Amino acid sequence: MGELKCYVVSYDIMNPKRLHRVHKTMKGFGDPIHYSVFRCYLSDKGKIELVAALTDIIKHDEDRIMIVDLGRLDGRVEERIEFLGMHPLEMQSKAVVV
């Protein structure tokens, strides 16, 4: 199994059908933390698969996806994420793609 990294993925999709497809695809790679924002624990291969899946869905001249690499899972990922207001509940199941 490859080394896992934490990614935050945020998207802005202009078409409701594509938005639904992106959201459904993202649920297979990570956990939602806000509307259109996911936290994903992925290997290098998992990230490549995520990018490929999203690339096939979006319309590149209308939609936008941001992928932020928070680094490897070394016990410090939570220190790199700061919330103001309500902190999201810990997810009971974490999606991990290797």
Over the chain (98 residues), the average pLDDT of each successive run of 10 is: 88 97 97 93 97 97 96 80 70 52
- Count CA atoms closer than 13 A to 52's CA, side-chain side: 6
Joined tokens for residue 68? 């932020």
Structure tokens at 58: 């979006």
pLDDT of residue 93: 46
3-class SS of residue 68? strand
Residue 8: how many other CB atoms lie within 10 Å: 19
Per-residue pLDDT, 74: 80
Q: For the chain, which residues make up each domain, given as ranges? A: 1-69
Helix, strand counts (H, E) of the chain: 2, 5
Taking the C-alpha atoms of residue 79 and residue 93, their distance in angstroms, rounded to an integer, is 20
pLDDT at 65: 97
- Residue 60 identity (one-letter amino acid): H
Q: What is the CATH code for 1-69?
A: 3.30.70.240
Indicate whether this model's pTM tops 0.85.
no
